[in-house]
Chains A and B, each alone.
Chain A
Amino acid sequence: GESVGLHLPTLSVQEGDNSIINCAYSNSASDYFIWYKQESGKGPQFIIDIRSNMDKRQGQRVTVLLNKTVKHLSLQIAATQPGDSAVYFCAEITTNTGNQFYFGTGTSLTVIP
């Protein structure tokens, strides 16, 4: 169901380190997943997506891992940069029931220079 509002978990990493942001999703029928990045004062921006027939997808400096067995999604950011500081949301979508998006709680990432 719909994400319940909570205070955002936070993650602080040193510049140049790798970051791992986790997301637990709720609906085993969800078959499409997206990670969004939201910088302060802006709307969410698409980063990377993955469909349920895959368990890993790589982009530029980002990798998404999907574990359907435990309904877990992670976003890995390599060589984290100060510009990566933002709130990261996962979204789960069930494409055969109207593509409704359910957003995770979000994680606030702070990169320490």
Chain B
Amino acid sequence: SAVISQKPSRDICQRGTSLTIQCQVDSQVTMMFWYRQQPGQSLTLIATANQGSEATYESGFVIDKFPISRPNLTFSTLTVSNMSPEDSSIYLCSFGLGTDTQYFGPGTRLTVL
């Protein structure tokens, strides 16, 4: 089965700065997804990232705040821009392998001061 990794695993950032999170899969995958998981809560889909097209954002999430890149079939980045303490969360990437199932990365724990 494919292995998925994220960098950084955690970070503490200052208000107003931006952080780019990287997600790497060791196999080529069509669909990659970015989720946010606030402390003690469930997962909320931010956007779907397909290679060669613009990411599709869910209601409440916009490209200016969460720009996403998907340069190839094994890699994606999510940037959290102009951060505020409300952006403190775990950010997770996942992928689908042509089946209906999604597999998740280990997450990036972000704290914004």
Contacts and interface: CB of A to CB of B under 8 A. Distances in A.
Contact of B103 (A46, A100, A104): A46
A54 B96 CA distance: 22
A44 B38 contact: no
Nearest to B38: A5
A103 B100 contact: no
Contact of A42 (B33, B96, B102, B107): B107
Interface residues of A, number: 27
Contacts of A34: 101-102
Contacts of B28: none
Interface string A4-48: 011110000000000000000000000010101000011111100
B45 A89 contact: no
Interface string B39-54: 0111111000000000
A93 interface: yes
A106 B42 contact: yes
Interface in B72-113: 92, 94, 96, 100-107, 109
B43 A44 contact: yes
Nearest to A106: B42
A99 B33 CA distance: 11
Interface string A92-113: 0101000111011110000000
Contact of B100 (A6, A32, A44, A106): A32
B96 A43 contact: no
A43 B104 contact: yes
A44 B104 contact: yes
A3 interface: yes
B100 A100 contact: no
Contact of B92 (A5, A43, A100): A43
A93 B102 CA distance: 11
Nearest to A45: B104
Interface of B: 31, 33, 38, 40-45, 58, 92, 94, 96, 100-107, 109
